[in-house]
Amino acid sequence: MLKRTILTVLAFLASAPLIGAETNYPGLTWDRPGLNAPEGWSPDKLRVAEALFQANRSTAVMVVHNGHVVAAWGDVARTVDVWSVKSSLLGALYGIGVAEARIDLNRSLVDLGIYDNEPSLTSAEREATVRDLLMMRSGIYHGAVFEPWVATRPVRGSKEPGESSITTLGT
């Protein structure tokens, strides 16, 4: 449910116009949204986004543009532990770049000149495409600074780019 809500809100935000307003940096608190939608924001689209928020029973949504709160629903002051949002968020942001033809999902790490830090990527790992990375099928299993799932990470070199890292019982 959280993934769908985040993706919906990001897709909605991607369609919002870029307004040439000066960016505002909040202090200790954010400004409250006004009763009317800011210039360039569709009140109808904001109502649709709020209806999706309500239907998905999400915890909270806050829409910020140039440092100003456009809309806020739910308890936006509440701290919420959230897991595994990074992939959804990055996928949505990459989707915008793909839709605008700025990102080619078929380019490999070789094409992009990406080697990574030591230990450098192997030749096989560098064949992974942007699509493979976004689908978590890159075959790259480097360690990370914070990696609570290290015990379940496949052994480096055990999967080829494009191959699923998910195993089922008996395999």
Identify whether residues 65 and 9 lie together within a single domain.
yes
**Cα distances (Å, whole numbers) of residue 154 to 71, 99, 106, 138, 157:** 42, 32, 24, 12, 8
Domain span at residue 15 reads 2-74
Identify whether residues 61 and 118 lie together within a single domain.
no
Among 27, 54, 74, where does a domain finish?
74
Q: Is residue 50 part of a domain?
A: yes
Q: Is residue 136 part of a domain?
A: yes
Amino acid type, 113: G
Q: Is residue 52 part of a domain?
A: yes
Q: Is residue 113 part of a domain?
A: yes
* 97-129 per-position pLDDT tens digit: 999 999 999 999 999 999 887 888 899 999 999
Within 10 angstroms of residue 63's Cβ, the number of other Cβ atoms is: 20
* 17-47 per-position pLDDT tens digit: 444 556 667 777 787 777 778 888 999 999 9
Give the burial class of 170: count Cβ atoms within 10 A of its Cβ; 0-12 exposed, 13-18 middle, 19 or more buried: exposed
- Count of the separate structural domains present in the chain: 2
Position 143 pLDDT exceeds 60: yes
Pick from 59, 56, 64, 54: nearest CA to 80: 59
Q: Is residue 88 part of a domain?
A: no
pLDDT band at 137 (very low <50, low <70, confident <90, very high): confident
Within 10 angstroms of residue 155's Cβ, the number of other Cβ atoms is: 7
Identify whether residues 57 and 113 lie together within a single domain.
no
Position 7 pLDDT exceeds 50: no
Q: Is the pTM of this model over 0.85?
A: no
Position 171 pLDDT exceeds 50: no
Identify whether residues 6 and 64 lie together within a single domain.
yes
Q: Is residue 32 part of a domain?
A: yes
Q: Is residue 62 part of a domain?
A: yes
Report helix, strand or coil for 117: coil
Q: Residue 10 and residue 148: Cα distance in Å, rounded?
A: 27
